[in-house]
Chain A
Amino acid sequence: MKKKYRTWNLAVIILCMLTIVFIVAVNYLVNPYNIFESPTYEGFNEQKIETKEYILKEKDLVNQKPDTIFLGSSRTFLGLDPSYYKKMVGEKAYNVGLAGASMDVELKYFEYVLKSNPKLKRVIIGLDFEAFNIFGTTPLGFSEERLSSKRWIKEDLFLNLFTIQAFIDSMRVIHENRNNISNLTQDTLLEDGSFNESVQLNIHQEMLNSGHNRFYEHLQEYLVSEQLLAKYELSNKNISYFKQLVDLCEENQIELIAFIQPAHALQWTGIEKAGLWEQLEQWKKEIVHITPVWDFSGYNSITTTSAENFDVYFDQAHYRKKVGNLILHKTLQIDAEKVPSDFGVYLTEENIQSHLYKIRADRDAWMADNPLIMQRIDELLPE
């Protein structure tokens, strides 16, 4: 009997160990999230599930050592195009835009680049009103510990090599590669860190076809979320993080270009409807007090384009790369005449007050001109 127990113990322990080795090996070789440097084979693991941008971009930044980085939230991620930048300026850029990134997250990634890449010459940062909300939470996927060194942290290793989810995703990757399907394995994240527009367009077009207009639905998500617009207070801490970023650039002789993101007019109207317009203006004043910025927000020929197709915008928050290209032309003052003259104003402490008055007037005029849109927005507001 004793022997039976001994055999049982050995069998369980050895089989558990073998399972562990097997699962880790499969997850490493298949590399479903494209975060390890394991080889790829056509028909096996060439296409990946690229949703872990917080890890992936950290690794890319070390490997690619770009001259310029684009910082910001998913608006930067979707809208700014490093390959266009390269054609324009001749220098290599990397898009560090991260979904849901608040100002402290952006600062942490910037500091990480400073440590790991002495070549860095220029930073272009897109600023979001929402990233300065005191009620904003740390975005899922972000880990401060990860940015403390270039080495892998324990949690990332366990999460991506030793979880059921990773193993299932490995199986999905193999399955989709073998059968040439791309439900999850879409080429979402390009090598330059920017988002693959065609993937995003397909998703939004399909939703529109099934009766879901992301311009309005996504605005509603903003209006009801207590981390975004349902509750808002300007965070002095995040303002000081931005100041730190500006100071660090100056100390390290890195050129900084800051701009306020051109969300769609629907978004600015939503902010007004949420009763946050004064906070928005206060935010702009505090930013300009730290450094002059380019302001693409408000009601101009780009932001007031149609919300019924995706020619210019993906939704009320995210603009397409063609808009991002205009931002680059304007802020870098290269072929600036290509850009509509009302798109982008260089804000300083001298002109900010008159500029804010102008946006208010533009807003009132636009709201008066679009009663149907107003009605639809009113329906989105939380009770």
Chain B
Amino acid sequence: MLFNSFEFIFIFLPVVFIIYFVLNRKKYLLAAKVWLVVSSLFFYAWWNINFLPIICLSILVNYSIGNILSTKKYTTNQKWILTVGIFLNVLLLGFFKYVDFFIVNLNALFDGEIPLFHLALPLAISFFTFQQIGYLVDAYHGEVKERDFLNYTLFVSFFPQLIAGPIVLHKKIMPQFADRRNKFFNSKNISVGIFVFSIGLFKKVILADTFAIWATQGFDQLHSLSFIEAWIVSLSYTFQLYFDFSGYMDMATGAALLFNIKLPVNFNSPYKALNIQDTWSRWHMTLGQFLYRYIYFPVNRFLLRKVFTPLHIKKYTMLRSNIALMILFLISGIWHGAGWTFVFWGFLHGAATIIHRHWKSAGFKMNKYIAWFITFNFINASLVFFRANNFPEAMKVLKGMSGWNGITFPERFSFIIPDIYSDVISIGETQLIDDVRGIQYIIVGLLIILLFENSEQLREKFKPTWYTALFTIIIFMYALLSLTKESIFLYFNF
């Protein structure tokens, strides 16, 4: 079930909410918890019931391994048990997400003809796998303990964060469920929840879905793009991705707040960042924290102990962190999607981060506006690889952006181009639908990401006034009234 659907907003969410608090109020605490778990699994199964057994199996296996780890039953073999646990998770994810990618490459390398599996990717598998790997590592370190199977299931499946995160830590979430005060209706959380959910719905339905028009057309449909079209397309995707994902996070945060659960912040105005490291500390923050905690540090430690110390090059700490960082970003790339374009995207960000580290350690400084401009353009250009289905498609967009295919402006802009440039810039028809509206949207997008406070800041400032009520009603209703999309009506096609 999508957050931005009538089923979710008008049926699922109110019903789950009311019954949960009624059960709690009547002191059926266990029943309330069972209700929340069952509802979450129902929410998951709504897309495709065939995936339900997979998530249940994953929960069961990880719960058992976590239990063995945290009870320290087999103290001598702890490390092995953890390794097996992580391996099983990676295996499950690898099988569903990467097996075809692996076969395609194998076939290409050895001229083989191994048939592909064409498996449908179980929903949210990337998220619940990572979340549970984190849990196992924490259990190994003795930082968490969960004896109660129902609690553990709730930790993984709680519907607001199940599909696309944020990736939550057990020790941050489960105490909230255990807190008795959180079992009762909290008017303030409900207000804030409705407020944040509405912002998220608006970002997704009105902004992201509109930007998607140009991104989809430019990446998937047109064969070549002129200069201005390529920029509309790439910027549209950059905004689509942000508004889509952060909008989804707002809806998740809002929905969780109705149940008095505070999910961790996942976005903090990433496009305001002034360097690439800053970007990653503001973008999909829980993934970044996960990768630092469970990839960067272990890899760094491993390199120190097994490579750098034996080779007597311990003092090259910068080199060591750079290798660990690159591994982090390559893994981040492939985690986002099974394809070389994703790996390359990860590589670009790894390289940029390393360059930035050297820049910083050399003590260079840069003007704030130039820094923002370079950072934002780097994000935008690298996202072309993230979005494109293959390298030629990415090159198509980048070629257009570089002016390779000529610089053509739509007729409406003829007035801004001085005659002396008429050799370089031509005026003509562009293929992109509604390109002028695209430019308008991009300007609005830029204003929103640069000048406005983000939803987290708005949430903290929230006050129950008529002003916030009106604001909420307007954006919520506007988004709701745009949920059903009318196709563009091409009259008299033939």
Q: Residues of A at under 8 Å CB distance from B?
A: 1-2, 4-9, 11-12, 15-16, 19-20, 23, 51, 73-75, 99-100, 128, 130-131, 139-141, 155, 158-159, 162-165, 167, 222, 228, 317-318
Contacts and interface: CB of A to CB of B under 8 A. Distances in A.
Contact of A163 (B466, B486, B487): B486
20 contacts: A5-B187, A5-B191, A7-B464, A12-B191, A15-B473, A16-B476, A19-B473, A20-B480, A51-B491, A99-B490, A99-B492, A139-B493, A140-B487, A140-B490, A141-B489, A158-B484, A162-B481, A163-B481, A228-B494, A317-B494
Given A4-B464, A23-B481, A100 B494 contact: yes
Given A8-B464, A16-B473, 18 more contacts: A5-B187, A5-B190, A5-B191, A5-B464, A7-B464, A11-B466, A11-B469, A12-B473, A15-B473, A16-B477, A23-B481, A73-B494, A99-B492, A100-B492, A158-B483, A163-B482, A164-B478, A317-B494
A20 B483 CA distance: 13
A131 to B, nearest CB: 8
Contacts of A222: 494
Contacts of A131: 494
A11 B494 CA distance: 50
Contact of A162 (B478, B484, B491): B484
Interface string B446-481: 000000000000000000111011001100111011
B6 interface: yes
A159 B487 CA distance: 10
Contacts of A158: 6, 483-484
Interface of B: 6, 187-188, 190-191, 194, 464-466, 468-469, 472-473, 476-478, 480-484, 486-494
Contacts of A20: 477, 480
A20 B478 CA distance: 11
Contacts of B483: 158
Contact of A167 (B188, B481, B491): B481
A74 B491 CA distance: 9
Nearest to A11: B469
A20 B488 CA distance: 24
Closest CB pairs A-B (n = 9): A100-B493, A8-B464, A5-B187, A140-B487, A158-B484, A164-B481, A6-B187, A4-B464, A5-B188
Contacts, number: 88
A9 B481 contact: no
A99 B491 contact: yes
Nearest to B484: A158
Contacts of B492: 74, 99-100, 318
Contacts of B489: 51, 140-141
Nearest to A13: B194
A11 B195 CA distance: 13
Contact of B469 (A12, A51, A155): A12
Nearest to A74: B492
| Interface class of chain A by DSSP | helix
A2 B6 CA distance: 29
Residue in B187, B469, B488, B493 whose Cβ sees the most chain A Cβ within 10 Å = B493
A9 B473 contact: no
A130 B484 contact: no
Given A73-B494, A162-B484, A9 B190 contact: yes
Contacts of B477: 16, 19-20
A1 B187 CA distance: 10
B473 A8 contact: no
A164 B482 contact: yes
A98 to B, nearest CB: 10
A222 B493 CA distance: 9
A167 B486 CA distance: 13
A167 B480 CA distance: 13
B494 A128 contact: yes
Nearest to A318: B492
A6 B464 CA distance: 9
A54 to B, nearest CB: 10
A12 B465 CA distance: 11
B335 to A, nearest CB: 35
A289 B213 CA distance: 43
B469 A8 contact: yes
Contacts of A228: 493-494
Contacts of A8: 191, 464-465, 468-469
Residue in A12, A139, A155 whose Cβ sees the most chain B Cβ within 10 Å = A12
Given A2-B188, A73-B494, A164-B482, A9 B488 contact: no
A155 B484 contact: yes
A8 B191 CA distance: 7
A298 B478 CA distance: 52
A19 B481 CA distance: 11
Given A162-B481, A162-B484, A164-B482, A9 B191 contact: yes
A9 to B, nearest CB: 5
Given A2-B188, A4-B464, A140-B487, A12 B494 contact: no
A332 to B, nearest CB: 25
B481 A12 contact: no
Contact of B493 (A1, A16, A99, A162): A99
A51 B489 CA distance: 8
Contacts of A139: 493
Nearest to B188: A5
B487 A141 contact: yes
Contacts of A100: 490, 492-494
A7 to B, nearest CB: 7
Contacts of A6: 187
A122 B481 CA distance: 43
A280 to B, nearest CB: 15
B426 to A, nearest CB: 16
A162 B468 CA distance: 24
Contact of B488 (A1, A140, A163): A140
A23 B483 CA distance: 14
A7 B483 CA distance: 28
Contacts of B490: 99-100, 140
A255 to B, nearest CB: 26
A162 B489 CA distance: 18
Contacts of A23: 481
